[in-house]
Every structure is written in structure tokens, then in C-alpha cells.
A and B are shown apart, each in its own frame.
Chain A
Amino acid sequence: MGKPEDTERKKLKDVEISVPIVYGNAAFWLGKKASEYQSHKWTVYVRGATNEDLSVVVKRVVFQLHSSFNNPTRVVESAPFELSESGWGEFEIAITLYFHNDVCEKPLNLYHHLKLYPEDESGPMSIKKPVVVEFYNEIVFTEPSESFLARVQNYPAVTFPRLPAGFTLPSSAPIEDESKRKRGDTKDHPLNQWFLNFSEADELLQLAAARQQVQAHIAKLRRQISVIDGQNQQFKSSSDQ
């Protein structure tokens, strides 16, 4: 049968932990202070989707910038995981997330196209209002280790899964000092007012409505097909006579 640890490890197979994140950039036009090569000041970042501190899971983030930047490989060792620079061009930034050892040994790559100029090119550019582009995504960890599960169970940045029945975790380490934690989250971040809200409710509603339409259509087609089948059967039998 196996030792108890084996069965416990087996139970973890279907468990996954997900961390909802938002990544993107905010770019401010420098207005009259803009020069030809430094027209915008921008910040690229990865934050928790609800602005919680990601450092419970993420050890460091590496932003790979365009080669024309000095030291294009920028490493950020602590939350908030962001990088600010100034420039004039839009290009793709490779964002690599490195996780703590008990979380996952493999890094994860994201790609974000830096956006400086507003969609509506003819509109006026504002110094006060930045151009913000954000994407929502979820990092999924499969087969999490027990220590990982134990460590993160009280952190809101992580979507904790429902554990299989009878599975017990060792109690987690006490949550760190409040003041230390505060710095890592983005709830009071200067850019906070520009962050976008991502609510799954709207999308779910839309999808449900679409599915209903499609399903109704499928039912109708099925009825039509059975009618035609009936007709065709008649023809077949009449031609056989």
C-alpha cells in the first residue's frame, strides 16, 4: 500500500495553487521637459491582482530591456516588483519571475510590449494622466509541496486551493512583521489610482450568455436535422418500392 507520506503526496497531485497577477506599464509624457530621446517616463511592473504582496511567492523579477539601454538586464530583488526608466521607444520587455525554492525551481517568462503613446494618436497628450496597459493572468503551480502550502496558507496574494479530505497541513509560520509586509504590497502605491480593475464577473456573464445562445441554436439544428432525416427516410422507402 505504501507509507502514509506516499498517500499524502499522491493526494496533492490534483491540487494546484494559483497566484493572480497583473503586469503591465504606466507611462507619463514629460511634456515640455521632454527631450528627443527622453520623451516619457515609464514604469513596468508585476503586482498582485488585488495589490497584495507577491514576495511570499516571488523571490525576484528580472526585466530584460531593449539592448540600447545601459545594463538592459535589470534585477529587482524585492517587492514591489517594478522598474522605472525614461525613453522614447516602445519595445518588448521580457519579464522573468523567479520563485522561492520551496515554491518552484523553474522561472516563468512573461512578455509585455511597452506602451507609451495613447491609442488615439490624434488626441492631446497629458502630463498628468499616464498611458496604462495592464494584463491579468494567473500563475498556476501544480503539485505544490507541503512546505509551500503551509507557508502561504494565510497570505491573501495566493488563491489557496481546497485540500483533499483528511489532509492536514502543519501550521504555518507566523505572518511577518506588519511594517515589513506593508512595503511589498501595492495598495498605497503612487500609481495605484491608475491601476485597472479586473473582475471576472462581467466576463463570466458574457460567456454564459453566449453559451446559452449557442446551446439554443444547437437544439434547434438538432430538431431540424431529425425532421430532415424523417423526410429522407420517406424518400428512401418510397424509392425502394
Chain B
Amino acid sequence: MDAKDILGLPKTPLPITQEKKPRPQKDSQRKPDGISREVYALTGGLAPLMPSIDASQLKRRPPSDEKITWQWLPFTSSARKDDLQLYHWVRVVNGVPPTGDYSFAKYNKSVDVIKYTDEEYEKYLTDPVWTKEETDQLFDLCERFDLRFIVIADRFPTFRTVEELKDRYYSVSRAILIARAPSPGEVAGHPLVKEPYNVSQETERKRALSMVLSQTKQQERKDAEVLAEAKRIAESRMAAQGAEEPDLPVTSDIGPESVERAIGHGDTISPSSVQVPSAAVAPSTSIMADNASTLASLRMLRVYLRTYALEQMVQAASSSAGLRTIKRVEQTLQDLEVNLKPKVPTKAVCAEHLELRKEILTLLNLQKQLQYKEAEGSSFRDGSYGDMPGTPKRSHRVVDQDRTFVPDAISFGGERAGKREQKRKGPGRVSETPSSPAHKRPRKMKASDL
């Protein structure tokens, strides 16, 4: 043991059990010379396999036998139609200037816009909606503006949508191509022929796109919700199908439960029945889908522990809650003197536990709702919206003080509640100043309070 190490005595090899499970060997081959361990770990703990830059390349000097000078010389570009001669600096090697075209001439690409003759127009290209003059104008603009249809649409003399212009251009080009081809087979591979422009599809696609772009935030959220729910239902169906089950039992599982939710009210509660319609504020069908898919995946396991199943169901039920909310749920459970993990997890106990957790979530949501509504109310009264700090204190006042359960927005008191003193100045009227001593700040109970 350690003492023996210190003394330098040899350890006796006995089958001893060491404290704690064997830890994975820490990376003891640290190679940081000059960098801290953490920085080293960022790179993955090892030196990079290949040098990123070959250091020898960096300070290369040009071979010394070459003599470099720079000269101001004229040049022409094949991209230009005229013979304009301009000047620029040129790197001359040993007195020999570089040859070849202007290096940027290769970027002068242009589109081959088809030119049709009048006869061809009469034969192949007539159209009820387009006059020859319009078509000629279109093609002229196409050539000028390199098929930038948006620009062309802006400059077109009569009003035409971009899709119409595209349609006309592509169908004309296609027709000419086919007409001029010696045989149909030769142009069959041409993209214009293979995939003609589809106006209606394009119009529809753009309309849908603009609709998506102009959605309000609320619509976006709703859409996301519906999609997520659909996905979950599809997944649970897939899982159910994988187990050779028809779709009906899965959806019918959700059916009666959601009906129960719709009917159930908070007033008609019988605590003894397990199937209490839980008082959900917002009928959260997405949570139902979560439950269903969790159940399906549990079924797929064939064998599992009850505690594992409970964990999964709890996770599914709190999937929409943040970490803070989950912590508050656990705090509430503690205050209610309920075990966070049931000591005797039978089927019935687990079901009750799950329902309790869901109800606590509902409770927390309602409290938040109440807070917001009161803030709203106070803003109406004061006519200002900057009164937020006052709100938590008001909810103190408006809500009754329970012996066992203080619905404090900040903390849930169990036994503490009975001892805390709260001065109440009437049923929540606002006329008093918001700084009565007992309401300054919810503070921890001190001995002086008793």
C-alpha cells in the first residue's frame, strides 16, 4: 500500500481488493514541451501525423542562375474584340518576356444563344402567346445578358414572369435543336432535350419557397411541431411494424388516452385510481407520441428491468423540459417526501410515479403561466412594461400560503413554509409600494424569523 511505497518496502502479492474500480490509465506519455497539457489535449493528445507545412518550402529562394527583372510592357487580350493595347508589369526571366495570351482571357466565357432564321421561326417556333417580335427581343436580351433571366425580366418591354421567359427560351432552343439535328437520336442526349423546362413545376416550387420564407415565427414553430410529431408516429409505426404488428394497435393506444385527456378535468379527481386523467394544460400530443415510441422500443428489447423502463418513460415525458425544470421537478418530489427513484418499483408504483412527475410538470407550467399573466396584468395597470422585477413578489401575495406546500416561484417549501411569515396587505391590490419588508426578496429562513 501507500505506506509501503513511501518506505520503499516491496508490496506483498495478495489477492486484495482495491478501493474503487480500476481507472483507465491516464495518458502518462505527455509530450508537451512548451505547451500546456490542456492545449496538447485539444489536438487529440498526439502530435499531428503529417507536417502541415513543409518548413523547408518556406524560405526557398529562386535558383540563382536565373536573372529576374520586371518590365513595363504592352499586351493584348484575345477576350477583347478590338485591338486595344494596354500596359502592365511583366516578370522577365533572363531577358525573355513571357509568351502566350493574356492570362485572364480564359475566363471570358459566354453562352451560346441560338440564332434562328425567320423561316425556322415560321416552321417550328410559332406560339399563340408569343409574337415573333417578342421572341426576337427575348433572344436579344438573352445574348446581351448571358441568360441572366432576372435581369432580362426587368428589361423586357412587356410584362412577363421569369418562368414564362425561361419557358419560351428553353422550348425555342429545344425545338431548334431537334429541328436542326440530322436525326433525333443525336440530340437525345442533350440536356435540353432530355429534361425540358417544366413551367408549372417551377412556378409551384417558387411559390412554396416564398411561402416558407415568409412564415411567421409562430407558424414555423407549429410546422416544426407537426413534423416532429409525424416523425415520431412514423417511427413508432416502424418499430411496431418491425415487430410484425399492424398499425392499428399503436394508434389506438394513443386514441383512448387522448380522449381521456380531453374529458378529464382537475375537479373530478379520485386519487386511488391509477388511470386518473391527468390535468394537462396543453394537451401535448407530442408527449403521447413520445410515450408510444418509448413503449415500442421497450417492447423491442424483449427483456428489461422495471427501473430502466421507468427511466425511459420519465425521459420521454420530460423531453420538452429544460434541465432547470427537471431539477425543479426533483426538488418538488423531495419536498413531497417522495423517493426520486422508487424503492419498490413494481408496475403500479412506477405508473404512479410517472403520473406524479407529469403532474408536477403541469404544475410548474401553470405557475409560470400565472406569473406571465400577472406581469401582463401589472403592465396594464401601470401602463409600463418595465415593472418585471416586481412581479415575483406580487405572486407571493396573490397566492395563498399553504401549510404544507408553498407555491413559491423560487423555492418549494415543505416544512419550512409553515414557519415563514408573510405579511399580506390585502388581496393583491397594487396600490402599495412594492417594497414591504417581508417581500423584499425571498430569503432563507433565519432563526430570527421564528
Contact = CB atoms under 8 A, between A and B. Distances in A.
Interface size class of B (residues with CB under 8 A): 35 or more
B199 interface: no
B356 A231 contact: no
12 contacts: A37-B14, A37-B17, A92-B21, A142-B304, A208-B271, A213-B336, A214-B359, A217-B402, A221-B367, A228-B374, A236-B380, A239-B380
Interface stretch (A102-110, A121-129, A173-181, A183-191): A102-110
Given A207-B353, A214-B359, A235-B380, A142 B301 contact: yes
Contacts of A202: 344
Interface in A57-72: 66-70
B355 interface: yes
B302 A235 contact: no
Contact of A89 (B17, B301, B348): B17
Interface of A: 9-10, 13-14, 18, 20, 37, 66-70, 87-92, 99, 104-106, 108, 110, 136-143, 198-200, 202-204, 206-215, 217-222, 224-225, 228-229, 231-232, 235-236, 239
A141 to B, nearest CB: 5
Interface in B324-341: 332-333, 336-339
B346 A20 contact: yes
Contacts of A37: 14-17
Given A142-B302, A225-B373, A232-B380, A91 B349 contact: no
B373 A232 contact: yes
Nearest to A6: B244
B343 A198 contact: yes
B344 A218 contact: no
Interface stretch (B27-35, B305-313, B435-443): B305-313
B366 interface: yes
Contacts of B349: 200, 203-204, 207
Contacts of A138: 305-306, 345-347
Contacts of B244: 9-10
Give the one of A91, A141, A142, A143 with max B CB within 10 A: A142
B40 interface: no
A61 to B, nearest CB: 14
Interface in B342-380: 342-349, 352-353, 355-356, 359-360, 362-363, 366-367, 369-370, 373-374, 376-377, 380
A210 B336 contact: yes
Given A208-B272, A218-B279, A218-B363, 14 more contacts: A37-B14, A68-B18, A69-B17, A88-B17, A89-B18, A105-B302, A139-B306, A142-B303, A200-B349, A204-B348, A210-B333, A211-B352, A217-B363, A224-B398
B368 to A, nearest CB: 10
Contacts of A67: 22
Contact of B359 (A66, A204, A211): A211
B245 A219 contact: no
A59 to B, nearest CB: 13
